[in-house]
Amino acid sequence: GNSVTQMEGPVTLSEEAFLTINCTYTATGYPSLFWYVQYPGEGLQLLLKATKADDKGSNKGFEATYRKETTSFHLEKGSVQVSDSAVYFCALTVLQGAQKLVFGQGTRLTINP
Amino acid sequence: GAGVSQSPSNKVTEKGKDVELRCDPISGHTALYWYRQSLGQGLEFLIYFQGNSAPDKSGLPSDRFSAERTGGSVSTLTIQRTQQEDSAVYLCASSLRSSVETQYFGPGTRLLVL
């Protein structure tokens, strides 16, 4: 089956620190990969995505590269800000079979000034 | 333009009662999804609608849960004989055609079953 495993949180960093949130997946078929973010009091929104191997998704200073050989899609940011505090979800979907997003368990990130 | 809207934003009900949750997708989006977000289970897929095709109900946890989508637009998720374990945030999302495209999420309906 399809599944996503995320780095367990919560993660607490200081402003301007380097961020990595690990995400690995298992999938039958060729998945598309996503990072969604949920800011406090807000709904889920797409942060970035990649649809094929070696693609790099990027947005708001965040990046993630689709690594087929290691079945990973780690989220990185070079210098985090207090406003990045949120819950981050890694997710996948495949065109074949059930049309749905399969989410990781989420990682709560807190950035201290 | 308008995003995905859901109503009510909060619902408190008593165990055993039926509830209806509504979702208005983005205009022109043919794909609509329901998910559930709960503390113990994370984010779970419930049901998927694509145009006029039969829905994919593979994520519905029991036969107390049902959903319909009228006219290819608005969707209603119905939970019959609610149980305390149904307490969760119910999220609706829509995408242009398929799940490999960006899914846009509504703000959710927070359901509390007493």
Confidence at B100, pLDDT banded by 50, 70, 90: low
Q: What is the DSSP letter of A67?
A: B
CB contact under 8 A, A106 and B59: no
Handedness of CA B41, B89, A99, B52 (dihedral sign): positive
Identify the CA nearest to A25 among candidates A36, A33, A15, A17. Answer: A33
CB contact under 8 A, A42 and B107: yes
C-alpha distance from A53 to closest chain B C-alpha (Å): 15
For chain A, give the mean pLDDT: 93
Q: Which residues contact A89 (CB under 8 A, 6 or more apart)?
A: A6, A35, A36, A37, A38, A44, A103, A104, A106, A107, B43
Could you tell me which residue, A1 or B46, shows the higher pLDDT? B46
Confidence at B12, pLDDT banded by 50, 70, 90: very high
Strand A11-14, strand A107-112: pairing: parallel
What dihedral angle (degrees, nearest 10) is formed by the CA atoms of B7, B4, B110, B20?
Answer: 40
Give residue A30's Cα distance to chain centre. 17
Confidence at B82, pLDDT banded by 50, 70, 90: very high
pLDDT digits (tens, 9 = 90+) for A75-108: 999 999 999 999 999 999 877 655 689 999 999 9
Is residue A7 pLDDT above 80, yes or no? yes
Confidence at B85, pLDDT banded by 50, 70, 90: very high
Cis? peptide before A10, omega within 30° of 0: yes
Which residue in chain B is spatially nearest to A41 when comparing CA positions?
B107
User: In chain B, which residues have their Cβ closer than 8 Å to the Cβ of A98?
Assistant: 45, 48, 56, 58-59
User: In chain A, which residues have their Cβ closer than 8 Å to the Cβ of B105?
Assistant: 36, 43-45
B88 contacts B38 by C-beta, under 8 angstroms: yes
C-alpha distance from B80 to closest chain A C-alpha (Å): 24
Question: Which residue carries 């620190």 as its tokens?
Answer: A17
What pLDDT shows up at residue A94?
79
C-alpha distance from B107 to closest chain A C-alpha (Å): 5
What pLDDT shows up at residue B104?
92
Is residue B51 pLDDT above 90, yes or no? no
User: Chain A, 92-111: which have a CB under 8 Å from a chain B CB?
Assistant: 93-95, 98-106
Average confidence (pLDDT) over B81-87: 96
For chain B, give the mean pLDDT: 92
DSSP calls for chain B: ----EEE-SEEEE-TT--EEEEEEPPTT--EEEEEEEETTTEEEEEEEEETTSPPB-TT--STTEEEEEGGGS-EEEEE-S--GGG-EEEEEEEESSSTTSPPEE---EEEEE-
Token output for B41:
């289970």
Is residue B1 pLDDT above 70, yes or no? no
What pLDDT shows up at residue A88?
97
Is residue A41 pLDDT above 80, yes or no? yes
What pLDDT shows up at residue A103?
94
User: In chain A, which residues have their Cβ closer than 8 Å to the Cβ of B31?
Assistant: 99
Strand partners, B76: B22, B68
pLDDT digits (tens, 9 = 90+) for B37-49: 998 778 999 999 9
